[in-house]
């Protein structure tokens, strides 16, 4: 099922997403036609199947990363999953998700949600903001929130949202903020994996096409070495992301997701560096498409916790497990 989902998403995004669309979206336009196509193909419902939902959603995220899709696909997938768990109706259209940052503060009491969320993706374009506060899943009308514009390094909307009022819907749900943060980190790992795969393809194609001193630069040992290092990073990230997908709903989800976010984040920085070295100055120019991928890699590695954040948490868990418990913990995961 997941291979079919990936092929469907990859084909749709390959045909619809080009540099012109990416530039127009970064300038402020929202690709309505592409969003309609995503909804019509059912990709935003990837989590719906209880047996294959996580793997299907991973396939959609990886494909979205491969093509730098300028849509809130990760946010909508995770928000829909949250609503599904809480038994709430799922609004149509793109959804925003909060909290996303450890500095976000919120409270739900007396039927009112009060809070400030500092980096909400696509809030001003969403039909609803789905928030988690004090053990409740809440649906908020973006028109009733104060939304301050902002963007990440890749030009994707990341806005400050302040809410003070009753939600459209609310339901108690035993979901911890740590769970939401973990799933957000998992989504960014898959997006980074997809973007790295395309970055490697773009760099390899350029190395074979660019002729210097009578032969392709890809024939030079130094260029081959950098491409090989990139391929290593992509392969290691794929293993980590696949393990996190298999363990996302398991007892040892923290270990698998922490490792994936750390490994994919480190690889994202290296892959972007190698790609720009192979392609020289052309990769930095506005006319080339490479920067749409590498700026997303640099942005996504910082979202839902940087490598240093997850490494500290992982070290604390290891310290708690103790020397005698470390090996059983690792092998159980």
Return the exposure string of 30-66: e unless at least 16 CB atoms fall within 10 Å of the residue's CB, then b. bbeebbeebeeeebbbbbeeeeebbbbbbbbbbbbbb
pLDDT of residue 2: 83
Assigned token pair, 95: 């959804």
Domain 93-175 annotated CATH 2.40.110.10? yes
- In the chain, list all ranges with CATH 2.40.110.10: 93-175
pTM assigned to the model: 0.95
Q: What pLDDT is attached to residue 333?
A: 60
pLDDT of the residue at 75: 98
pLDDT, residue 48, reads 84
The secondary structure of the chain, three-state, reads CHHHHHHHHHHHHHHHCCHHHHHHHHCCCCCHHHHHHHHHCCHHHHHHCCCCHHHHHHHHHHHHHHCCCCCCHHHHHHHHHHHHHHCCCCCCCCEEEECCCCCCEEEEECCEEEEEEEEEECHHHCCEEEEEECCEEEEECHHHCEEECCECCCCCEEEEEEEEECCCEEEECCCCHHHHHHHHHHHHHHHHHHHHHHHHHHHHHHHHHCEECCEEHHHCHHHHHHHHHHHHHHHHHHHHHHHHHHHCCCCCHHHHHHHHHHHHHHHHHHHHHHHHHHHHHHHHCCCCCHHHHHHHHHHHCCCCCCHHHHHHHHHHHHHHHCHHHHHHHHHHC
In the chain, where does the domain assigned CATH 1.20.140.10 lie? Answer: 177-331
- Residues of the chain predicted below pLDDT 70: 1, 333
Looking at residue 148, its pLDDT comes to 97
Which homologous superfamily is 177-331 in?
Butyryl-CoA Dehydrogenase, subunit A, domain 3 (1.20.140.10)
7, 1, 121: which is closest to 63 by C-alpha?
A: 7
- Tens of pLDDT, residues 193-248: 999 999 999 999 999 999 988 999 999 999 999 999 999 999 999 999 999 999 99
Of the candidates 2, 13, 7, the residue with the CA atom closest to the CA atom of residue 68: 13
């Amino acid at each position: 099922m997941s291979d079919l989902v990936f092929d469907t998403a990859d084909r749709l995004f390959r045909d619809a997403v080009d540099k012109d669309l990416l530039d127009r979206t970064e300038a402020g336009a929202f690709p309505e036609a592409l969003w309609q196509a995503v909804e019509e193909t059912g990709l935003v419902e990837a989590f719906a199947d209880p047996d294959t939902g996580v793997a299907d959603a991973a396939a959609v995220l990886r494909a979205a990363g491969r093509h730098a899709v300028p849509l809130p696909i990760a946010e909508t997938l995770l928000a829909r999953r949250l609503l599904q768990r809480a038994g709430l109706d799922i609004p149509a259209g793109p959804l925003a998700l909060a909290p996303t940052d450890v500095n976000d503060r919120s409270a739900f009491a007396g039927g009112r949600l009060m809070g400030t969320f500092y980096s909400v993706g696509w809030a001003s374009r969403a039909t609803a903001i789905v928030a988690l506060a004090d053990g409740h899943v809440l649906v908020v009308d973006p028109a009733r929130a104060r939304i301050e514009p902002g963007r990440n390094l890749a030009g994707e909307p990341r806005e400050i949202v302040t809410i003070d009022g009753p939600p459209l819907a609310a339901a108690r749900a035993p979901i911890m903020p740590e769970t939401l943060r973990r799933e957000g980190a998992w989504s960014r790992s898959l997006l980074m994996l997809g973007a790295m795969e395309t970055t490697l393809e773009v760099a390899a194609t350029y190395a074979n096409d660019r002729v210097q001193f009578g032969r392709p630069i890809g024939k030079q040992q130094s260029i081959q070495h950098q491409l090989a290092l990139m391929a290593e990073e992509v392969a290691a990230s794929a293993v980590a992301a696949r393990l996190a997908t298999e363990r996302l709903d398991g007892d040892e989800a923290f270990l698998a997701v922490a490792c994936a976010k750390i490994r994919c984040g480190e690889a994202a920085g290296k892959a972007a560096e190698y790609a720009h070295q192979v392609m020289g100055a052309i990769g930095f120019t506005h006319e080339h498409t490479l920067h749409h991928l590498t700026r997303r890699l640099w942005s996504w590695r910082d979202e839902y916790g940087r490598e240093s954040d997850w490494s500290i948490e992982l070290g604390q868990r290891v310290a708690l497990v103790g020397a005698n418990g470390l090996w059983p913990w690792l092998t159980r995961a």
